[in-house]
Structure 1
Amino acid sequence: MTHQPSRTAIRNGLVVTASDELHADVLIEDGRIAAVAATGSTVAEGWSAGRTLDATGKYVLPGGVDAHTHMDFPFGGTFSSDDFETGTRAAAWGGTTTIVDFAVQTKGRALREGLDRWHAKADARCAVDYAFHMILSDVNEGTLKEMDLLVEEGISSFKLFMAYPGVFYSDDGQILRALQRGASNGGLIMTHAENGIAIDVLVEQALAAGRTDPRHHGEVRRALLEAEATHRAIQLARVAEAPLYVVHVSAEEAVAELAAARDKDLPVFGETCPQYLFLSTDNLAEPDFGGAKYVCSTPLRPREHQAALWRALRTDDLQVVSTDHCPFCFTGQKELGRGDFSKIPNGMPGVEHRMDLLHQAVVEGHLTRRRWIELACATPARMFGLYPKKGTLQPGSDADVVLYDPHAEQTLSAETHHMNVDYSAYEGKRITGRVETVLSRGETVIDRRTFTGRAGHGQYTPRGLCQLLR
């Protein structure tokens, strides 16, 4: 491993954070941001550094924080095709320098056992920094007590599923108990909001009627059943007097539930994902079982829903864009559902393209540059207790820095991506903007479009409590 100079200066770039845009130089010392000063100022001119990176014509950004990934994740009799090594390498290529992945509690077993299993998968394998949420599969007195201990240790968020009966599903009583515990220990409860009991009825009816193609996955997982579950989760959180974070919001009706709650000044938060912003049920209807590539839950929606999602990202009714990166290869994995859409593993690849797709949204006028960084870096870091260590460029922050070329053009393709999956959800899509160089805690992991990082560079990062709560 080459030792990096302890002082690095990044000069002549446009520094973009959630709060500011300025032509500034950035000084890095021992893996942290030491100073930010206006380009050409006497302060910046006076720096001596062992290494200088020229960012002329480039943006200088905080590394991305992807708060929703599933590496090496068990689902539908198989595992997601990216492990922590391949998945975090792809994240680095896409300018994401921190992931928050989901450790899974096995029903009937201790949270700690699940957490230990995820540490064994991730530790010494990650190319970028990582943290964990905990999936609760079983809410009882024992697991509620364990939640308190995990919060103290830096696992400060817990996900419950209103979907997938018989797998991860929690009923309203279990969700209420978890919310009450979160209200007392400071942990943030996250929900996958879909009415899984009702969806299973519609799945059974569709299959009985011979509707087996991937597009029917989207049809049975009705937008109204996402909205109903979102509404119910919000009311349970109100009863518990607890904050709530709703993952992968895809439907206009669900956005309306979040907006109504936030209009009442309730501590309710939501994320969406690039697939819901750029893809639709048209993709699920691709011929020759091609729609299976796009099967994820919540499902892709008709294109009309996209305007509501973009608007919510601008008005702060949605605060975060994560990927829900959970890839399965088309060959041998997605194909498990030929003849029965309910057997298609749910999940899509995305960790490599989030920053670029959101920059494309800037190019197209959906978002400002600062809002891009707010959604992709700063707010996920604040939401999950990582700020200002992550998500910004200020003295004391980790030197997770991206040099971004806003004018470079690229075409997304499975031939050129670095995720361990045999298709691209955005095959052939042309976009403007590209990651050039990435530093993780001051160490170069992408050097002018060459991977120079290594498995094991990434450190486990314990988290504090949600920083968006009054």
Structure 2
Amino acid sequence: MSPVPDLVIHDGRLVTPGGIIEGDLAIADGKIVAVGTPLADAKTRVSAKGKWVMPGGVDPHAHIEQMSGMGQWNADTFETATRSAAMGGTTSVISFAAQASGQSLASTVADYAARASRGAMIDYAFHLTLTDTGVAGFDDDLATLIKAGHRSLKVFTTYNIQLSDAELLHIFGRARHSGALVCVHAENDAIIAQARQDLIDAGQVTPRDHARSRPRMAEIEAVERICRFAEYLDQPVMLFHISTREGAAVIAAAQARGVPVWAETCPHYLLMTHEVLDKPGLEGAKWMCSPPQRTAADQDALWDALERGTLALVSSDHAPYRYDETGKLAAGADAGFHQIANGLPGLETRLPLLFDAMVSKGRGGPEAFVRLTSTAPAQLYGLQNKGALAEGMDADIVIWNPDKQVTYGANDLHDNVGYNPWEGHIVTGWPDHVILRGQTLVQDGTFLGTPGSGRWIDRPALSTQPNATTQKADLA
């Protein structure tokens, strides 16, 4: 440790990998250099008396400056999205470098890297979204990019960017060879297509009908299939946005067999039900996402799966579209659910919602909150030096005021979406002070970051052993 730290946060309740410690935390040159040790000298001292000191949030699932499968750009740039993330206590994000039809993977990554380097104000990495395996040089590009630090891949089993089973198995095999984790949006496209067409034929096309257009069986079948693919090839897989109790049960059964499968869920599945879609006119479109919100019984099952470890983490699945003609209403005021962009903003609200539920209301406690929102995503996705308060780690820190109560308003987020899907929801606990690599990003509601100050996070590939045993150990 340097003789005089740059910053000491003193008298806080520190949530560390070894437990909760009452004491000080010291920062020098952007790194944590001491945890728990009382320190009198520092260039700057910040009191955290009566507050929680936790690692900055790691959100491993966010769509930023990206075109949807419907050919529609989402509302956020890297500047607006990462500003919003920081205001909610998130200091690292993994968004998507989404391949367009006919585009090479090298060109895809170059495009997104340019956007992020121009605007990002927190640290970032990319999942490579694979949609066109037939482009020239696909396999070579994929291996090169994984080796260069892009160690997670995203594939779909639905939408017009879905891959066939044969293509999925090919990607699984390439990932296994190169040392990458495969992330999957798992819903059965045929089940969805039939349910959607039946509703359209019956004239039942309002936003509240959206939930029925994506039946729970679509998730259950696809999750089971992907678990079997992972088992067949012994390839690590992350299943995105699990929404049903049956989906969680399938994952638990696969894990019990030793399948290298992990899974996540999101706040809107833990804290909303499909009833949120039942609004006058098209207003319910604000809450349309895929998979849709389910039932109270599913909520209970997902919380239980988090507590048991079946679900490893909670992401935002930030997918921002404005409620106007540039976003949700692009098809007009009489659009059906099948013509409305799916997704809702979540980068800024993920942590306060979960702090309220887990810390303030006691559903898991502060250590579980940190594990699910910071430590586990950093470890699973290879974000070295992120996600924990420990010596040598990046000084990404949030000081939480456990007593501050906030009622979300109609349009009080710092993204570019124009509405807050949690309007009227009351949270207790608020990120008063947000620090990235030792530099203050947010203090008492004021944002202090600058565009382009975020850094790309290099993530070394997983083991490239002939089997995935070492990969599983790396992830675990």
Question: Quick check: TM above 0.5?
Answer: yes
* Structure 2: distance between partners of 1:203 and 1:301: 17
Q: Is 1:128 equivalent to 2:122 in the alignment?
A: yes
* Equivalent residue, structure 2, for 1:41: none
Q: State whether residues 94 and 355 of structure 1, in contact with CA within 8 Å, keep that contact through their aligned partners in structure 2.
A: yes
Q: CA deviation at 1:172?
A: 0.8
Q: CA deviation at 1:365?
A: 2.9
Q: Is 1:378 equivalent to 2:375 in the alignment?
A: yes
SS in 2 for 1:216: helix
* Structure 1: distance between partners of 2:196 and 2:402: 44
* Equivalent residue, structure 1, for 2:218: 225
* Structure 1: distance between partners of 2:381 and 2:201: 43
Larger mean Cα displacement after TM superposition, 139-148 or 256-265: 139-148
Q: Is 1:67 equivalent to 2:60 in the alignment?
A: yes
Paired residues for 1:6-25 under 5 Å: 7-25=6-24
Q: State whether residues 33 and 392 of structure 2, in contact with CA within 8 Å, keep that contact through their aligned partners in structure 1.
A: yes
Specify the code of the residue in structure 2 equivalent to 1:8. Answer: L
Larger mean Cα displacement after TM superposition, 375-384 or 363-372: 363-372
Q: State whether residues 234 and 260 of structure 2, in contact with CA within 8 Å, keep that contact through their aligned partners in structure 1.
A: no
Q: TM-score, normalised by structure 1?
A: 0.94
* Equivalent residue, structure 2, for 1:84: 78
* Structure 1: distance between partners of 2:429 and 2:474: 30
Paired residues for 1:441-456 under 5 Å: 441-456=437-452
* Equivalent residue, structure 1, for 2:144: 149
Specify the code of the residue in structure 1 equivalent to 2:139. Answer: L
Pairing partner for 1:401 from 397, 403, 411 = 397
* Equivalent residue, structure 2, for 1:171: 164
SS in 1 for 2:111: helix
Q: CA deviation at 1:48?
A: 2.3
Paired residues for 1:44-63 under 5 Å: 44-45=38-39, 47-63=40-56
Deviations 1:273-292 (A, max 9, x none): 11111111101112221110
* Structure 1: distance between partners of 2:17 and 2:412: 30
* Equivalent residue, structure 1, for 2:324: 331
Specify the code of the residue in structure 2 equivalent to 1:99. Answer: V
Specify the code of the residue in structure 2 equivalent to 1:9. Answer: V
* Structure 1: distance between partners of 2:366 and 2:18: 10
Deviations 1:50-96 (A, max 9, x none): 10011111111100000000011112232111110010001000000
Specify the code of the residue in structure 1 equivalent to 2:335. Answer: G
Specify the code of the residue in structure 2 equivalent to 1:16. Answer: V
Deviations 1:328-351 (A, max 9, x none): 111222123533111111111010
Deviations 1:137-158 (A, max 9, x none): 0225832222211111110000
SS in 2 for 1:456: coil
Q: Is 1:419 equivalent to 2:415 in the alignment?
A: yes
SS in 2 for 1:74: coil
Q: Which runs of 5+ in 1 are unaligned?
A: 39-43
Q: CA RMSD in A?
A: 1.5
* Equivalent residue, structure 1, for 2:234: 241
SS in 1 for 2:26: strand
Q: CA deviation at 1:254?
A: 0.7
* Equivalent residue, structure 2, for 1:392: 388
The sequence identity of aligned pairs, in percent, is: 36
* Equivalent residue, structure 2, for 1:438: 434
* Structure 1: distance between partners of 2:335 and 2:132: 32
Q: CA deviation at 1:19?
A: 4.1
* Equivalent residue, structure 1, for 2:243: 250
Q: State whether residues 400 and 429 of structure 2, in contact with CA within 8 Å, keep that contact through their aligned partners in structure 1.
A: yes
Q: Is 1:106 equivalent to 2:100 in the alignment?
A: yes
Q: State whether residues 247 and 272 of structure 1, in contact with CA within 8 Å, keep that contact through their aligned partners in structure 2.
A: yes
Distance 1:69 1:412, change over 3 A: same
Q: CA deviation at 1:12?
A: 0.3
Q: State whether residues 73 and 326 of structure 1, in contact with CA within 8 Å, keep that contact through their aligned partners in structure 2.
A: no
Q: State whether residues 158 and 190 of structure 1, in contact with CA within 8 Å, keep that contact through their aligned partners in structure 2.
A: yes
* Structure 1: distance between partners of 2:27 and 2:8: 6
Q: State whether residues 57 and 89 of structure 2, in contact with CA within 8 Å, keep that contact through their aligned partners in structure 1.
A: yes
Question: Would you say how many aligned residue pairs link Structure 1 and Structure 2?
Answer: 457
